[in-house]
Amino acid sequence: MAENGLFDLSGRVACVTGGNGGIGLGMAKAFVQHGAAVAIIGRSQAKLDSALAELEEVAGSGRVQSLNCDVTDRGAVEAAVGEIVSEFGGLDILVNNAGVNRRADEPHLLSDEDWQHVIDVNLTSIHTATSVAFPHMKERGRGKIINIGSMMSIFGTAYAPAYAASKGGVVQYTKSCAVAWAKDNVQVNAVLPGWIVTEMTNQFKEAFPDRYAMIVGRTPAGRWGEPVDLGGTAVFLASSASDFVTGTAIPVDGGYSVW
């Protein structure tokens, strides 16, 4: 249910790419709980259907929408944003959450194809979706863009060089857009999730028990995060509470990056 005050999102329209699971779905739920109409974008129709049902339980029908869209296809993104604007009357909030990872033991072992795929999904798609969404925000005289980075925006890693490079790029792109669009009352910020239990990471404990224990031991909070842990930060950055906050990158990692 929506709340009055700084964190009230009533009357606002949000689009969450990769919103059919994990962090994206956690943020989408938080938005509808605070009154926003929400559209989620993803490629798996089965996951979209399941996520939409979860959102409808929270929001009620008529305030949520799901769209099958490949965020690396500009034409598809333009069509999806057009549908959202047509359905809800505008667009106020964009969360660029869609992401992938490809691993190799060392950077030189990562194929060019894997490198390009990660950059296309994790970084280029943010430019595409943001470029399509911004004119709608400018027209409404306000906007909030939330780009999902990672701890790898801060740290490098031998086994995921493309992921680290793309997430580092997310932070710099965020700063560039923040500087450009402050005059338009559009705030652009990044969230840097730590070790979060998602579909991308849920096999990690079984595959690498020693590393899993090391991560828990290093994290001051003493646990991995859950998608719900990102909801509060997302609502803050999507609401009027953050109208004077732009160009930031906020770790949400239980203190992992402090060390």
C-alpha to C-alpha distance for 228 and 174, rounded to whole angstroms: 23
Nearest partner of 97 among 164, 191, 235, 238, judged by Cα: 191
Q: Across the chain, where does the E strand assignment appear?
A: 13-17, 37-42, 64-68, 93-96, 143-148, 186-193, 249-252
Q: Residue 258 has which token pair?
A: 């402090």
End-to-end C-alpha distance for the chain, whole angstroms? 38
**DSSP class of 157:** -
Tell me if residue 212 is catalytic: no
Query: Quick check: 30 and 6 in contact, CB under 8 A?
Result: no
The active-site residue, picked from 163, 173, 212, 256, is 163
The residues annotated with a catalytic role in the active site are 163
